[in-house]
């Protein structure tokens, strides 16, 4: 079955997206309405958040030296996984997520 705008209109029960998002056509000879300009001022908190965000943008997400060290240890067969430590940290993460959802 081919789906076109008419089928979509009958399924959704209203005009399709294209019909609702198109601006109305103006009669020929009409001049467009000028847009007024506005100024926006950010609060000091917003400015501080922007500065913090710029600081984080330059910070690497991972420690490349530590990743390289672990890769080397894995390649040499020297990397050991402490299952108890992994399980403890996994449980702690789940507890943190549950507490964050309650707040």
pLDDT, position 3:
55
Closest CA to 17 of 8, 29, 7, 26: 8
Ranges of residues in the chain whose predicted pLDDT is under 70: 1-30
| pTM for the predicted model, two decimal places | 0.34
Residue 91 to residues 13, 22, 86, 96, Cα–Cα distance (Å): 48, 52, 9, 9
pLDDT, position 26:
57
70-79 tens-digit pLDDT: 999 999 999 9
80 backbone dihedrals φ, ψ, rounded to 5°: -115, 135
Q: Which residue has the tokens 């500065």?
A: 51
pLDDT, position 47:
87
DSSP 34: P
Q: Is the dihedral of CA 3, 9, 12, 18 positive or negative?
A: positive
């Amino acid at each position: 079955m081919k789906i076109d705008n008419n089928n979509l209109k009958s399924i959704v029960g209203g005009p399709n997206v294209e019909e609702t998002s198109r601006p109305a056509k103006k009669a020929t000879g009409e001049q467009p309405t000028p847009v007024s300009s506005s100024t926006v001022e950010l609060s000091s908190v917003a400015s501080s958040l922007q500065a913090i965000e710029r600081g984080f943008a330059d910070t690497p997400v991972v420690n490349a030296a530590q990743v390289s060290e672990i890769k080397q240890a894995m390649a040499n067969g020297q990397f050991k996984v402490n299952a108890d430590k992994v399980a403890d940290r996994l449980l702690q993460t789940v507890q943190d997520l549950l507490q964050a959802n309650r707040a």
